[in-house]
């Protein structure tokens, strides 16, 4: 589990203890204060699971001085938990649970957009999940963030921060092996060329079978970077190459009965062995930092992404009851041949002016601009099979005794490929002011955005829509003590309706969907940071949701109308705590309660993702995760144990997604530069659904028990 991001101990918020001072700067395997084989120093939660300041708020801020709720997952946490991709981290964030692929439910709302180093644009397009090898940390900014980032979901957003070159030389090499034919290796090194230039290079490869029949995952991540530090100016350039080869994908779930129980073995796969999903993505980016004076900081970043995802797979298209006994026993399938090609340019620049106005009085002003342009190509063709095997069409597949390779995709009568083109342009100007008066910190910001979407479907007319919107944020923090702060904020967000939905014949154009939040809470770093916590209570409203017009087509123009009318209200509580129970024992807990409900509709048609009872799909009321680690003194060993609980949910087809609790455990041994870690996931091999989708697509099964061993050498 991660701790809430908290500030390091400073003279202003308490001096470190003698034991902590002695351990400062030591990494795992170097705890001289306790013995040469100790791998966890005193204050481990404080020193490894937190950061001095968070960056997702655009103004780097000590967490106790921020009016926003931001969870930071550090590289140390990622390593401790053996996390490989983003799905491995969701349990560490209160209010966030798995929805599908890289998408999550965040404070009751579906969220699918990710930022990297503060820039819009995701190198993992379509149905690929972000890898973590080259990530320094992952930050999740909770609630509407329109004033800072423009178009965003009201539940929050992920910002992935990549590893940068360092003037301190370090490196590591490692290998991994485990169940499911898992094997892999990684290496990374960074360090100075001279006082001005520093370099970084890294490579990661892993191959493993996935739990579903025939499914596999081969991952390759390459990254390189260079930094030129001239004192007044620093330039960092980076390039990343990502290759993902997923056999027998794209994976949907497994159909369930009325009680939410799987109708097939959890290894069942609707895809054929020849199906696949491949990603080829290249990212190049650069950032320039300038500090012309002590109180003026400037930065500018630019990035280009070229990402192509190809898929050929069998989609469950209808449930079958072949013997008419009232129980589904198979699926009819559709074969899809798809290609997604995204070309993304993004740019951002910021200027921060800091002023000391007097004793205990200071001000920071941020002015910024960002721009992004995404050109997307979507090539697709498909052919739908029948309930019985038919020549030239995909054959059905049973649950109990599936027969694969019964039909050959090469023989399918596929229609010509249809190409859809879309272009999305976003730009925004923003101002944010932060005033500190003694123990009070007040922030206020405004942003204006312009957006333009063009859709050129392969069949149909071109649609174009442009518009603008404004977003706001105000917040207040009271430092009750150096280690306790109270905070509150009000913030807004917006999401333009899709270009294809803006057809005037359907009643368009429509104003964007909007969101706002009122939030308050308390943050602490008690006992010199040994007990860190964050408690927040919030209410989020999402309005102007597009629905089908119950009148149908009143104009008689052949296109059914839509209406932008609807409201969803999400209320909840997030609680995070990280504590050093003893000098050698740390515990972290993340708990959330959420109630997201439809609070206004037209009364006749459904809002997307709404389910029975006025709730939202895949939005659990309760979510709990914990991670605890104990280090016997002078042994070089550390034992860790974690758990993840998600309460009952409802799928998109109003089917129950039953609650689950799963546990993980690991043992780590370090001696000198060597470190070995053995980990078991789903310790008790529980069968469960990690998320619900729809009736034909089923529920996504959680992974069965698996284990792996990592061996690393650091230099």
Strands 96-100 and 114-116: what pairing? unpaired
Of 177-191, 265-279, 438-452, 556-570, where does mean pLDDT reach its minimum? 556-570
CA 584 from centre of chain: 31
681 inside domain: yes
311 inside domain: yes
- For residue 167, the enclosing domain spans 70-326+362-381+416-714
What is the rounded distance in angstroms from the CA atom of residue 399 to the CA atom of residue 262?
10
pLDDT surpassing 50 at residue 40: no
Q: What DSSP string runs through 164-231?
A: ---SS-EEEEEEEEETTTEEEEEEEEEEESSSSEEEEEEEEEEEEE-SSTT-EEEEEEEEEEEEEE-S
432 inside domain: yes
Largest CA distance in the chain: 83
**With bands split at pLDDT 50, 70 and 90, how would you rate the model's confidence at 44?**
low
**With bands split at pLDDT 50, 70 and 90, how would you rate the model's confidence at 41?**
very low
Residues whose CB falls within 8 Å of the CB of residue 460, separated by 6 or more in sequence, listed in order: none
CB atoms under 10 Å from CB of 388, counted, come to 11
What is the rounded distance in angstroms from the CA atom of residue 594 to the CA atom of residue 624?
12
Give the CATH number of the domain where residue 202 resides: 2.40.170.20
Mean pLDDT of 240-254: 97
Mean pLDDT of 534-539: 97
- pLDDT given for residue 357 in this prediction: 85
Determine the Cα angle at 189 with ends 186 and 77, to 5°.
65
What is the rounded distance in angstroms from the CA atom of residue 576 to the CA atom of residue 595?
18
- pLDDT given for residue 6 in this prediction: 39
What is the rounded distance in angstroms from the CA atom of residue 350 to the CA atom of residue 633?
47
- pLDDT given for residue 502 in this prediction: 76
Mean pLDDT of 499-505: 74
Strand ranges in 230-360 using DSSP code E only, listed in sequence order: 233-247, 276-293, 296-320, 330-358
- pLDDT given for residue 541 in this prediction: 94
- pLDDT given for residue 53 in this prediction: 73
348 inside domain: no
- pLDDT given for residue 522 in this prediction: 98
Mean pLDDT of 490-517: 85
- pLDDT given for residue 505 in this prediction: 75
Residue 517 preceded by cis peptide, ω within 30: no
**With bands split at pLDDT 50, 70 and 90, how would you rate the model's confidence at 601?**
confident
- pLDDT given for residue 4 in this prediction: 42
Contact 628, 115 (CB under 8 A): no
**With bands split at pLDDT 50, 70 and 90, how would you rate the model's confidence at 35?**
very low
Of 6-20, 130-144, 300-314, where does mean pLDDT reach its minimum? 6-20
- At 446 the three-state DSSP class reads strand
CA atoms within 13 A on the CB side of 378: 14
Mean pLDDT of 429-447: 97
Mean pLDDT of 395-422: 95
17 inside domain: no
Could you tell me which residues are beta bridge partners of residue 436?
362, 441
**With bands split at pLDDT 50, 70 and 90, how would you rate the model's confidence at 36?**
very low
Burial 217-255 (b: 16+ CB within 10 A, else e): bebbbbbbbbbebeeeebebebebbbebbbbbbbbbbbb
- pLDDT given for residue 113 in this prediction: 83
**With bands split at pLDDT 50, 70 and 90, how would you rate the model's confidence at 25?**
very low
Task: Read off the DSSP letter of residue 459.
Answer: S
Q: Which residue has the higher pLDDT, 29 or 98?
A: 98
- pLDDT given for residue 488 in this prediction: 98
Mean pLDDT of 390-409: 95
* pLDDT tens-digit map of 667-712: 999 999 999 999 999 999 999 999 999 999 999 999 999 999 999 9
Q: Nearest-CA neighbor of 289 among 127, 60, 568, 92?
A: 60
What is the rounded distance in angstroms from the CA atom of residue 628 to the CA atom of residue 461?
57
Q: How many domains does the chain have?
A: 1
First to last CA, the chain: 27
40 inside domain: no
- pLDDT given for residue 47 in this prediction: 59
Q: Of the spans 373-387, 527-541, 607-621, which averages the highest pLDDT? A: 373-387
pLDDT surpassing 90 at residue 19: no
- pLDDT given for residue 612 in this prediction: 59
* pLDDT tens-digit map of 50-108: 666 777 888 888 889 999 999 998 888 888 888 899 999 998 999 999 999 989 999 99
Q: What are phi and psi of 413, to 5 degrees?
A: -90, 75
CA distances for 263 relative to 22, 144, 331, 398, 465, angstroms: 58, 39, 11, 10, 44
- On average, the pLDDT of the chain sits at 89
Percent of the chain with pLDDT over 70: 91
The model's pTM: 0.91
- pLDDT given for residue 243 in this prediction: 98
Token digits of residue 391 = 């020549």
Task: Read off the DSSP letter of residue 122.
Answer: -
Of 32-41, 142-151, 262-271, 304-313, where does mean pLDDT reach its minimum? 32-41
Mean pLDDT of 587-595: 95
* pLDDT tens-digit map of 300-344: 999 999 999 999 999 999 999 998 998 999 999 999 999 999 999
461 inside domain: yes
Cα-based torsion angle of the residue sequence 255, 90, 494, 375 in order, rounded to the nearest 10 degrees: -80
What is the rounded distance in angstroms from the CA atom of residue 582 to the CA atom of residue 42?
8
Q: What DSSP string runs through 570-638?
A: EEEEEEEEEEEEETTEEEEEEEEEEEEEEEE--SSSPPTTB-GGGBBTT--SEEEEEEEEE--TTSSEE
21 inside domain: no
* pLDDT tens-digit map of 443-498: 999 999 999 999 898 877 788 888 999 999 999 999 999 999 999 999 999 999 87
Q: Which residue has the higher pLDDT, 102 or 560?
A: 102
């Amino acid at each position: 589990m991660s701790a809430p991001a908290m500030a390091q101990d400073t003279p202003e918020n308490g001096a470190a203890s003698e034991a902590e001072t002695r351990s400062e700067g030591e990494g795992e395997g170097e705890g001289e204060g306790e013995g040469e084989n100790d791998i966890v120093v005193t204050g481990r939660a404080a020193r490894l699971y937190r950061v001095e300041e968070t960056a997702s708020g655009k103004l780097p801020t000590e967490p106790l001085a921020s009016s926003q709720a931001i969870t930071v997952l550090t590289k140390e946490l990622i390593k401790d938990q053996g996390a490989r991709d983003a799905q491995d981290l969701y349990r560490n964030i209160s209010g966030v649970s798995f929805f599908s692929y890289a998408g999550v439910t965040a404070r009751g709302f579906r969220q699918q957009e990710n930022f990297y180093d503060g820039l819009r644009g995701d190198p993992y397009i379509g149905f690929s999940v972000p890898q973590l090898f080259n990530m320094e940390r992952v930050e999740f900014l909770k609630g509407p963030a329109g004033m800072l980032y423009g178009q965003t979901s009201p539940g929050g957003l992920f910002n992935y921060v990549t590893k940068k070159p360092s003037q301190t030389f370090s490196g590591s090499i490692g290998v991994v092996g485990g169940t499911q034919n898992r094997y892999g290796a990684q290496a990374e090194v960074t360090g100075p060329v001279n006082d001005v230039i520093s370099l970084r290079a890294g490579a990661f490869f892993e191959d493993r079978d996935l739990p579903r029949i025939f499914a596999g995952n081969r991952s390759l991540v390459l990254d390189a970077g260079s930094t030129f530090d001239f004192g007044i100016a620093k330039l960092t350039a980076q390039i990343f190459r990502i290759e993902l080869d997923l056999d027998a994908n794209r994976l949907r779930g497994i159909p369930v009965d009325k009680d939410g129980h799987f109708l097939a073995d959890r290894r069942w796969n609707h895809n054929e062995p020849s199906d696949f999903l491949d990603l080829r993505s290249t990212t190049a980016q650069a950032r320039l930092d300038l500090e012309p004076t002590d109180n003026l900081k400037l930065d500018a970043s630019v990035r280009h992404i070229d990402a192509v995802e190809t898929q050929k797979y069998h989609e469950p298209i209808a449930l079958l009851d072949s013997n008419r006994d009232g129980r589904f026993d198979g699926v009819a399938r559709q074969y899809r041949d798809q290609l997604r090609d995204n070309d993304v340019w993004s740019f951002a620049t910021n200027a921060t002016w800091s002023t000391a106005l007097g004793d205990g009085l200071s001000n920071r002003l941020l002015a910024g601009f960002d721009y992004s342009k995404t050109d997307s190509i979507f090539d697709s063709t498909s052919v739908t099979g029948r309930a019985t095997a038919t020549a030239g069409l995909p054959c059905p597949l049973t649950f109990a005794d599936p027969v694969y390779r019964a039909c050959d995709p090469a023989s399918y009568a596929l229609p010509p490929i249809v190409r859809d083109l879309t272009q999305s342009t976003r730009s925004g100007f923003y101002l944010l002011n932060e005033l500190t008066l003694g123990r009070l910190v007040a922030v206020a910001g405004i942003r204006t955005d312009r957006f333009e979407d063009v859709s050129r479907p392969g069949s149909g007319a071109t649609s174009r829509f442009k518009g603008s919107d404004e977003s706001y944020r105000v917040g207040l923090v009271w430092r009750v003590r150096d280690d306790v702060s109270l905070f509150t904020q009000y913030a807004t967000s917006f999401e333009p309706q899709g270009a294809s939905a803006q057809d005037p014949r359907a009643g368009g154009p429509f104003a964007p969907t909007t969101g706002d939040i009122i939030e308050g809470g308390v943050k602490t770093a008690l006992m010199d940071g040994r007990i860190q916590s964050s408690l927040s209570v919030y209410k989020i409203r999402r309005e102007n949701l597009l629905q089908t017009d119950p009148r149908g087509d009143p104009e008689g123009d052949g296109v059914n109308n839509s209406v932008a009318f609807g409201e969803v209200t999400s209320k909840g509580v997030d609680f995070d705590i990280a504590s050093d129970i003893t000098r050698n024992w740390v515990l972290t807990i993340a708990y959330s309660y959420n109630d997201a409900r439809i609070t206004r509709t037209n009364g006749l048609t459904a809002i997307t993702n709404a389910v029975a009872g006025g709730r939202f799909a895949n939005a659990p009321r309760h979510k709990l995760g914990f991670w605890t680690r104990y280090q016997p003194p002078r042994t070089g060993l550390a034992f860790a144990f974690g758990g993840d609980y998600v309460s009952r949910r409802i799928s998109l087809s109003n089917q129950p997604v039953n609650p689950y609790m799963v546990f993980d455990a690991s043992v780590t041994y370090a001696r000198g530069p060597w470190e070995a870690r053995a980990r078991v996931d789903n310790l008790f091999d529980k069968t469960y659904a990690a998320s619900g989708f729809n009736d034909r697509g089923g529920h996504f099964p959680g992974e069965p028990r698996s284990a792996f061993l990592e061996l690393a050498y650091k230099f």
